[in-house]
Amino acid sequence: MAIQKEQIRSALVHVMHPDFGKDLITLDLIQDLIVQDKYVSFTLELTEKNDALAHSLKEQCAGAVRRFVDKDAVLDITVGINISRKRELEGSAGAGPGAQTAANHGNSPQGPTGSGAAGTAPPRVLANVRNVIAVASGKGGVGKSTVAANLAVSLAQTGLRVGLMDTDIYGPSVPTMFGVHERPGITTDKKLVPIHKHGVHLVSMGFLVDPDQAMIWRGPMVTSAIKQFMQEVRWPDLDIMILDLPPGTGDIQLTIVQTVPLTGAVIVSTPQTVALDDALKGVAMFEKVNVPVLGIIENMAYFSPPDMPGKKYYLFGKHGARKLADRLEVPFLGEIPIREDIRERADTGTPIVLADPQSESAAAFTEIAGRVLNAVETKNREQESTQKIDITIRP
């Protein structure tokens, strides 16, 4: 018989945390629970690195599941560290499971520093950000991060307060594209302070790990990191936050739409068929979770030799993304040429819209940024606010 999530939660009530005197479910330390047939996966969230405690609690969790649920259960338990929870759990009104339930199913009018204690709705995630825009692609290598970086800087140049969250945990690009090599500061209440560069407030996993270090993490660890970027960062008041998403339609994308209501999504693709096929899936994913698609951008649209600027060579096909936008009846936001200066400026840490604002490349990004801003304003004026969604994985 297939295992149910509630059976796992009931079993883990029997596992007590030695430091806080309560069970793991009451303390809300079991995250990202996935159950499929006899396979059970979850993250055991601790407030500090403690290998002995982690080993002990993992053993107790496994024993409880096999004793109270199914002796043949296949367990995959990951340990995550969330230092910001320590003060909360040590308080007299430590958070219980009710607080997490409220966070998953509704927003609160509290500001970003609300307590979220039992009996009080927790603060809305990114409550001080007016618009959250996801920049996404169906596949890698289409220049999505380059578009996100130049879009963020272009919007900041208009006087808007802009943030850029690099949600690609495995392959963060923001540190290189913005020339940031220092680590962010930490407030007294253990929150990260975004780095401010080129007029944009930045957060990236690349700021927190060695550039040569590979992030060999399972899905639950990655989703936990994304949640902390949204909930445990001291974001200032922002008009727009750009989310630079990893390619695909997996864990990170689902975590984001479950955690914060998106204003809309921008899809980046090259003109070639293999990229368009994946871009189509990206559009379908956002439509499925009721996130408006603000439009499609065609990157690497054509190449013009420097000595023949009027000549265009369509290396990857002609107007493929434009045609896809027409077919899907979503806005086409513009095309960006293949230019060496875009790549050079990204590699040296200054996006082209700032490094050479008079160039053809910068003009393309600036024009697209204006169209994105118009799409956001139209969406906010004519449509109801987007809501975060609740996704349940069942066997």
What's the pLDDT band for 140 if we cut at 50, 70, 90?
Answer: confident
Tell me: do 177 and 233 sit in the same domain.
Answer: yes
β-strands 192-193, 129-136: how paired? unpaired
What CATH number did the domain enclosing 371 receive? 3.40.50.300
359 and 301, same domain (yes or no): yes
352 has pLDDT over 90: yes
Q: What are phi and psi of 307, to 5 degrees?
A: -85, -5
Range from 62-71, 96-105, 375-384 carrying the lowest mean pLDDT: 96-105
Is the pLDDT score of 1 beyond 80?
no
Q: Which residue has the higher pLDDT, 147 or 251?
A: 147
> What does the pLDDT average to over 301-309?
84
Which of 48, 76, 95 is the last residue in one of the domains?
95
Does 332 score more than 90 pLDDT? yes
pLDDT category at 96 given cuts 50, 70, 90 is very low
pLDDT exceeds cutoff 90 at 376: yes
Does the structure show a pLDDT above 70 at 114? no
Q: How far is CA 8 from CA 69, 222, 276, 353, in A?
A: 7, 22, 41, 52
Domain boundary at 45, 72, 95, which? 95
> What is the C-alpha to C-alpha distance for residues 168 and 140, in angstroms, rounded to an integer?
11
Stretch 246-260: mean pLDDT: 83
Q: Hey, is 239 helix, strand or coil?
A: strand
**C-alpha to C-alpha distance for 339 and 345, rounded to whole angstroms:** 10
Q: For 10, list phi and psi in degrees, rounded to 5.
A: -65, -40
Domain extent at residue 253: 129-382
Residue 109: pLDDT above 60?
no
Provide the pLDDT for residue 21. 87
The C-alpha angle 218, 224, 225, rounded to 5 degrees, equals 95
pLDDT in tens, 178-211: 999 888 888 887 788 999 999 999 999 888 887 7
Distances (CA, A) of 272 to 172, 251, 275, 321, 335: 25, 26, 6, 8, 13
CATH number of the domain that residue 84 is part of: 3.30.300.130
C-alpha distances (whole Å) from 387 to each of 82, 124, 136, 259, 290 are 26, 12, 19, 10, 8
Average pLDDT, the chain: 83
Same domain, 13 and 136: no
Q: Domain end: 95, 117, 149, which one? A: 95
Q: Model confidence over 21-60: pLDDT tens digits?
A: 899 999 989 988 888 888 888 889 888 888 899 999 999 9
In this structure, what DSSP letter does residue 205 have?
G
Whether the predicted model's global pTM rises above the 0.95 cut: no
Q: Could you give phi then psi for residue 36, rounded to 5 degrees?
A: -145, 110
The mean pLDDT of 346-350, rounded to a whole number, is 92
Report if residue 108 sits inside a domain.
Answer: no
**Residues forming a β-bridge with 387:** none
Q: pLDDT tens digits for 216-236?
A: 777 777 888 888 888 889 999
Whole-angstrom distance, CA of residue 94 vs CA of residue 4: 27
